[in-house]
Amino acid sequence: EDDNEDKAREESVTFAGFKVKAVINENARQKYLFLHCKKNDEDAVVLLEKTPFDSSMTDQILSDNTKIRETLQNDIYHTYTAFLPANLNGVKATVICPASEKHIKKYTEQESFVIQETAELYTKVTLPYLEKHSFSTQWVYNILEKKKEADRIVFENSDPDTGFILLPDMKWDGKDLNSLYLQAIVHKHGLKSVRDLNKSHLPLLNNILEEGADVIDQEYGIPKSKLRIYIHYQPSYYHLHVHFNHINLESPGFDADRAHLLVDVIENIEMNDSYYQDKTLVYRVREQDELYKLYQDEGYF
């Protein structure tokens, strides 16, 4: 009891003063809840997410400090609502205050749509968009020219046509092997996406597949049978790159409407030189993506 009172004083800051205006996003699987609030007269975004269990604290989780209330009992199966000691059941809260319109938009759930991009639609809608914007990939050239992040390079094949640089993805902490995430970035310029690939790129793709997997086995002890190796379409930047993930990493980027397995890409091109120029490619867009708007203007939706 004393402990609890001490803690209460120590944590005397509260959410008092925040008025909830709207739930802008929520996810039952990942257990998060994003709120648009007002504090005094300012807009605020409050991001709440349940924390993972701390598996080093199991003895304290299953102790007499955890009260349980039975909700169901059937034979050997019992379900309970359990109330863990507060210090074991924190919630991560991020507050952005004052929040701009842009912040609120950023964290508001966006509607998603499926596009079936035929070869014709690629030429008519997607390609002009890519060419018009000519997204800057200077930061990629900085990596390839070793002006930036040179110390992070895990492997390089320096051939200008069939070579690449392999380095850890920013999303990976570089330690937890179950969430291993590396990217191979090709040296060759001008390959925007899988749409540009044909038989002439098979040596490059095979190098990435073979050398990439070998290096990951040597450096991290993760064999090829534990790796997911794939290309995104649409990619997040338009300079060809390949993702390497540990099979245990749960990533929305591995959805079947975005991830194209590198072995499939290679085999499809071997089967048909113009596979990725001819093929309808399916992907998901969100309502704030410019491609969504362009397809809408085109009368696709």
Q: Which is nearer to its own copies, 99 or 240 (CB)?
A: 99
Binding to its own copies, residues 18-47 (CB under 8 A): 18, 20, 23, 26-33, 35, 37, 46
Q: How far is the CB of 219 from its own copies (least distance, A)?
A: 19
99 binds its own copies (CB under 8 A): yes
DSSP, collapsed to helix, strand or coil, labels residue 268 as: helix
d(CA 79, CA 120): 55
Residue from 205, 227, 242, 269 touching its own copies (CB under 8 A): that is 227
64 binds its own copies (CB under 8 A): yes
Binding to its own copies, residues 279-298 (CB under 8 A): 279-280, 282, 284
Contact 39, 29 (CB under 8 A): no
Whether the link from the prior residue into 234 is cis, omega within 30° of 0, is yes
Residue from 186, 193, 260, 265 touching its own copies (CB under 8 A): that is 260
Residue from 12, 134, 138, 158 touching its own copies (CB under 8 A): that is 12
Q: How far is the CB of 187 from its own copies (least distance, A)?
A: 26
Per DSSP (E only), the strands in 97-135 are 112-117
DSSP, collapsed to helix, strand or coil, labels residue 141 as: helix
> Where on the phi/psi map is residue 299: left (φ > 0), alpha (ψ -120 to 50), or beta?
left
Residue from 6, 40, 94, 297 touching its own copies (CB under 8 A): that is 94
Catalytic machinery residues = 241
Residue 279 per-residue DSSP state: S
Q: How far is the CB of 131 from its own copies (least distance, A)?
A: 25
Residue from 2, 3, 70, 151 touching its own copies (CB under 8 A): that is 70
6 binds its own copies (CB under 8 A): no
Query: How far from chain centre, in Å, is Cα 27?
Result: 16
Q: How far is the CB of 4 from its own copies (least distance, A)?
A: 8
16 binds its own copies (CB under 8 A): yes
Residue from 121, 177, 261, 294 touching its own copies (CB under 8 A): that is 261
Which uninterrupted H or E stretch holds 166? strand 164-168
Question: Cβ neighbours of residue 189 under 8 Å, at least 6 residues apart?
Answer: 141, 239
Binding to its own copies, residues 151-180 (CB under 8 A): none
Residue 103 sits at φ, ψ, to 5 deg, of -60, -45
DSSP, collapsed to helix, strand or coil, labels residue 35 as: strand
